[in-house]
Structure formats: structure tokens, C-alpha cells
């Protein structure tokens, strides 16, 4: 993990800012199709920046909720597979308040990364 500045998140934000503020307007004037593609690329960079900055804490919160919900520890991917298995088997459903709280919190974290303007 890099400990110097700029961080990965800061670099991604700087690249996105430059492309959004300088390159995209120039492309919009000369090549509108490329301007649109640039906006898509800028949005992808913004998602990567938020993932870099917010993802580790979101994963840690999700992991802690799953450990409490399932009553066992393990890698996040394994815990999610187990929860999916329980849902498919009908062992858990929407009447489980802890499950619903977990899903709501997990979705909120994912939306904060993917599209924070959604709410």
C-alpha cells in the first residue's frame, strides 16, 4: 500500500477532473461522439476513485454484518456465498429483520460508490 501522496484516490480524482473540465469540452466542440465516450470514461474513473476511497471500509462493515448474521467468520466472498445459499434454500427471507438491515446497509454502501447522487 502506498503511503505517499498523491494517493491512488487522489490521482484518479485529478485525472477525472482534468478529463471532465478540459478534455471533454474540447471534444464536445470537435467530436461530440468522443465527448460522450469521454464522459462515460470520466464516470468510470469517478467510480474507481470512490471504490479506492470508500470500498475498504464498506467491505469491512459488510463483513462484520455477515459474521453477526451468519454466526461464523470467513472471507467476505465465502460469507456472501453462504448467505446466497441460505436465501436460495429458503432458510432466510424478508421477514428476517437482521437480513433486511444488512441488505439495506450493503446496498447503501454500494450506491455511495457507484452513484452517490442517486439518493
Q: Are 99 and 68 in contact (CB under 8 A)?
A: no
Residue 14 lies in a domain: yes
pLDDT tens per residue across all 119 residues of the chain? 557 889 988 999 999 999 999 999 999 999 999 999 999 999 999 999 999 999 999 999 999 999 999 999 999 999 999 999 999 999 999 999 999 999 999 999 999 999 988 86
Q: Are 103 and 66 in contact (CB under 8 A)?
A: no
Residue 1 lies in a domain: no
Residue 119 lies in a domain: no
pTM score, whole prediction: 0.81
CA distances from 116 to 21, 31, 55, 96, 110 (A): 20, 29, 13, 27, 9
Q: What are phi and psi of 74, to 5 degrees?
A: 160, 180
Count of structural domains within the chain: 1
Residue 73: its pLDDT value, please? 98
Residue 81 lies in a domain: yes
Residue 56 lies in a domain: yes
Residue 119: its pLDDT value, please? 66
Residue with cell 467476505: 76
Residue 118: its pLDDT value, please? 80
Cis peptide before 6 (omega within 30 of 0): yes
Residue 101: its pLDDT value, please? 98
Residue with cell 501522496: 5
Residue 4: its pLDDT value, please? 85
Q: Are 41 and 19 in contact (CB under 8 A)?
A: yes
Residue 2 lies in a domain: no
Q: How many residues does the chain have?
A: 119
Residue 57 lies in a domain: yes
Residue 96 lies in a domain: yes
Domain range for 52 is 8-114
Amino acid at each position: 500500500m502506498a503511503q505517499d501522496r498523491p494517493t491512488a484516490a487522489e490521482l484518479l480524482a485529478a485525472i477525472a477532473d482534468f478529463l471532465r473540465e478540459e478534455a471533454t469540452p474540447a471534444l464536445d466542440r470537435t467530436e461530440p461522439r468522443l465527448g460522450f465516450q469521454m464522459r462515460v470514461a470520466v464516470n468510470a474513473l469517478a467510480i474507481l476513485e470512490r471504490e479506492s476511497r470508500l470500498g475498504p471500509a464498506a467491505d469491512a462493515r459488510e463483513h462484520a454484518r455477515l459474521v453477526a448474521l451468519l454466526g461464523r467468520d470467513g472471507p467476505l466472498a465465502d460469507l456472501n456465498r453462504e448467505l446466497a445459499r441460505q436465501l436460495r434454500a429458503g432458510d432466510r427471507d424478508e421477514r428476517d429483520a437482521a437480513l433486511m438491515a444488512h441488505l439495506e446497509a450493503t446496498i447503501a454502501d454500494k450506491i455511495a460508490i457507484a452513484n452517490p447522487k442517486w439518493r
